[in-house]
Chains A and B, each alone.
Chain A
């Protein structure tokens, strides 16, 4: 059974239809890449999954249960973690503090939640080790990390929340080659741990390196869904640009 099932998901912003009847399954242990031109509706779709928007129509189910999120917190509680394009990290806090921010391990004394800093640092050191992230000190400030290392911290955060679905919106957009490799490796490792990963990217070669399946959005509709093994970059590009004959036919029919 699919971890996440989206049926007929539609989102309107006033007169503009940003998403139109999207059906999509996301499975455990797979990296699903979501591609599409600017304005195709990718961010809108993941914001609905992440609880930042609610859909105008349609249904979302997680492990078969219908869900409706009214806030990112709801989504996080249901096991959906989102790593945003502009990372949501606090540079003035340490790695461990960022990983646990909003859900610190505490010991209550007279109702006051005192931090258990050592427990948190140890847990984060474990996670970093597991991810093979090459960051040695969980107490280091996030402000001192490179772009790739920051992605690793954000991924740690998702893992620590026991996320079942991790959404990554262009995680490699601002990274140099070596850092991109590392983040892609982290993405694979997340899937190997049994998470479902939904990856948005404009970089076709990254997608072909890491994804198991590829979905293409165009003008708010899902126009293609392929196993990576059953397709090639040319075909995917033609879907994105609308040059593919299927897309032409579809768009003709919808006019």
Chain B
């Protein structure tokens, strides 16, 4: 009991998310016991991979403050997938696919970073603009249809699993989160991100290269969207110009649910990871139970408010 209390004080978000997840699983076990099996589990992790990568990038951008936000993540994923496949169709060696995804995603993120830091535009506006551009171009280039021709070796990876764990989850999502957690909590770069996220003026006064760090984080966020595009290609077998739809909203929800403060400087990526798993489990369960989409969105919103409330309460006590 005292351990639980301690966890509540240190990681209220993580605890609430874990409790909600247990509650959710119990509800499924009660009402839909037949879907409670390893295939569903694997499926959840498979669906979670794209959202997890994108949400990690979103969280880093928000954490660094300066009203940081990236609304273009969905457009980035769609456009990166489309451009990469177009390059392969045009004859580029298929071995370049992973690198190309990362490079294009990073380039699109870098564009955001430059517009935000060098030209001083408001991140919300910049990334809303690039969101329209990226997703518009993806749609225009394909006329709305998917581009097939993903190399088969990548499908082996994208659809494969090790035991019950999908390979993209094992080889990309887990390492990415572990690396982010290590950098944030154990290195000076992490201290700088938290410092500039909380109090940018003081971070500048002590000589932290705030603009450079921020550009780098937008670029890194873009690269993570690029990896999400890679996962989508290797999983679905084609580049779909609408693959990124709604990712900006879902990644924002995951970041907020996961305890990343919208003003920056507070939060941990473990919370974001837990939030992604919870969100995808919830969506899967609702899909299985035949909830309509409107209701699904409503439930996610309700969840967001509940977790924020729990966070508030725990802060009043601490």
- Chain B contacts for A112, CB-based, 8 A: 183, 187, 189
Give the residue of B189, B194, B207 whose beta carbon is less than 8 angstroms from that of A90. Answer: B194
Q: Do A72 and B186 contact each other (CB < 8 Å), given the known contacts A90-B198, A90-B202, A97-B191?
A: no
Contact with A along B135-173 (1 / 0, CB 8 A): 000000000000000000000000000000000000000
Q: Do A115 and B187 contact each other (CB < 8 Å), given the known contacts A92-B265, A101-B206?
A: yes
- Chain B contacts for A102, CB-based, 8 A: 192, 203, 206-208
Residue of A nearest to B202 (CB): A88
For residue B37, CB closer than 8 A to chain A, the reply is: no
For residue B2, CB closer than 8 A to chain A, the reply is: no
The answer on a CB contact under 8 Å between A92 and B188 is no
For residue A179, CB closer than 8 A to chain B, the reply is: no
Complex CA distance for A91 and B199, rounded to whole angstroms? 8
Number of interface residues of B (CB under 8 A): 22
- Chain B contacts for A97, CB-based, 8 A: 191, 195
The answer on a CB contact under 8 Å between B187 and A88 is no
Shortest C-beta distance, A95 to chain B (Å), equals 13
- Chain A contacts for B265, CB-based, 8 A: 90, 92
The answer on a CB contact under 8 Å between B188 and A104 is yes
Give the residue of A82, A91, A106, A113 whose beta carbon is less than 8 angstroms from that of B198. Answer: A91
Complex CA distance for A104 and B208, rounded to whole angstroms? 11
For residue B266, CB closer than 8 A to chain A, the reply is: yes
For residue A128, CB closer than 8 A to chain B, the reply is: no
For residue B119, CB closer than 8 A to chain A, the reply is: no
- Chain A contacts for B208, CB-based, 8 A: 101-102
Shortest C-beta distance, B271 to chain A (Å), equals 15
Q: Do A101 and B183 contact each other (CB < 8 Å), given the known contacts A72-B205, A89-B202?
A: no
Give the residue of A72, A82, A92, A113 whose beta carbon is less than 8 angstroms from that of B194. Answer: A92
For residue B312, CB closer than 8 A to chain A, the reply is: no
For residue B201, CB closer than 8 A to chain A, the reply is: yes
- Chain A contacts for B197, CB-based, 8 A: 92
- A window 64-94: CB within 8 A of B: 71-73, 76, 82, 84, 87-93
The answer on a CB contact under 8 Å between A114 and B206 is no
Give the residue of B191, B201, B266 whose beta carbon is less than 8 angstroms from that of A101. Answer: B191
The answer on a CB contact under 8 Å between A106 and B188 is yes
- Chain A contacts for B206, CB-based, 8 A: 88, 101-103
Residue of A nearest to B191 (CB): A97
Shortest C-beta distance, A48 to chain B (Å), equals 16
6 contacts between A and B (CB under 8 A): A88-B205, A91-B199, A93-B191, A97-B191, A102-B208, A103-B207
Q: Which residues of B contact A (CB under 8 A)?
A: 183, 186-189, 191-192, 194-195, 197-199, 201-208, 265-266
